[in-house]
């Protein structure tokens, strides 16, 4: 039988390296933040049909199920709220009903969202050929502040994060 003998210094170095590797592996996972994602094409975008969507990053996705896309029955509204990884991008594919022309857009959200999105909601609307993405804050809109974004959130402070670059 062969034994491996390590000096105390070498053994301490190996243990330290293993501990650092373990801590790095734990820290590299996604940060879960309680926030939401939603859309309501029936109310907000009646002239278009949502064909596909995906909000998320490499850890998790909120997306149209494959079976709905294959059957052409993607829900025209929906949402999710809860602890989930902060989304890095939003992809939307849609058809303008009047023309039958299809469009799609992918927006990198990494630099469009504030550092803290706890209790916020990302909501998208499509108007003809343009995708609009809004950040619905948990704050109530001030009476002297203009309404922005979807009508259903008229009582909230809403920030347009796409198109354009939001100011945080």
pLDDT in tens, 35-77: 999 999 999 999 999 999 999 877 667 787 778 888 888 899 9
Mean pLDDT of the chain: 85
Percentage of residues in the chain with pLDDT exceeding 70?
Answer: 80
CB 151, CB 166: distance < 8 Å:
no
- Per residue in 103-140, pLDDT (tens digit) is 999 999 999 999 999 999 999 999 999 999 999 999 99
Say what the pLDDT of residue 8 is: 65
Give DSSP secondary structure letters for the chain: -------HHHHHHHHHHHHHHHHHHHHTSPPEEEEEEEEEHHHH-TTEEEEEEEEE-SS-EEE--HHHHHHT---SEEEEEEEEEPPSEEEEEEEETTT--EEEEEEE-TTTS-S--TT-EEEEEEETTEEEEEEEEEEEPPTTSPP-S-GGGTTEEEEEEESS----
Average pLDDT over residues 89-113: 95
End-to-end CA distance of the chain: 65
Q: For residue 155, is pLDDT > 60?
A: yes
Say what the pLDDT of residue 41 is: 97
| pLDDT classification of 24: cutoffs 50, 70, 90 | very low
67-to-58, 71, 73, 128 alpha-carbon distances in Å: 21, 6, 8, 26
What is the distance between the alpha carbons of residues 167 and 121, in angstroms, rounded to a whole number? Answer: 17
| pLDDT classification of 31: cutoffs 50, 70, 90 | confident
Residues in a beta bridge with 102? 95
Say what the pLDDT of residue 95 is: 96
Average pLDDT over residues 17-25: 51
């Amino acid at each position: 039988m062969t034994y491996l003998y390590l000096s105390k210094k070498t053994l301490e170095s190996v243990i330290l390296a293993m501990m650092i590797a373990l801590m790095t592996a734990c820290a590299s996972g996604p940060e879960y933040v309680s926030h939401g994602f939603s859309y309501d094409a029936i109310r907000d975008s009646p002239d278009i049909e949502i064909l596909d969507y995906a909000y998320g990053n490499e850890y998790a996705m909120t997306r149209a199920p494959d079976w709905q896309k294959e059957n052409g029955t993607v829900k025209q509204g929906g949402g999710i709220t809860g602890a989930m990884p902060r989304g890095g991008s939003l992809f939307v594919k849609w058809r303008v009903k009047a023309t039958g022309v299809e469009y799609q857009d992918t927006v990198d959200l990494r630099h469009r969202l504030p550092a803290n999105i706890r209790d916020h909601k990302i909501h998208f609307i499509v108007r003809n050929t343009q995708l609009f993405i809004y950040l619905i804050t948990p704050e109530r809109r001030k009476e002297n502040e203009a309404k922005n974004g979807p009508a259903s959130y008229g009582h909230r402070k809403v920030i347009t994060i796409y198109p354009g670059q939001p100011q945080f």
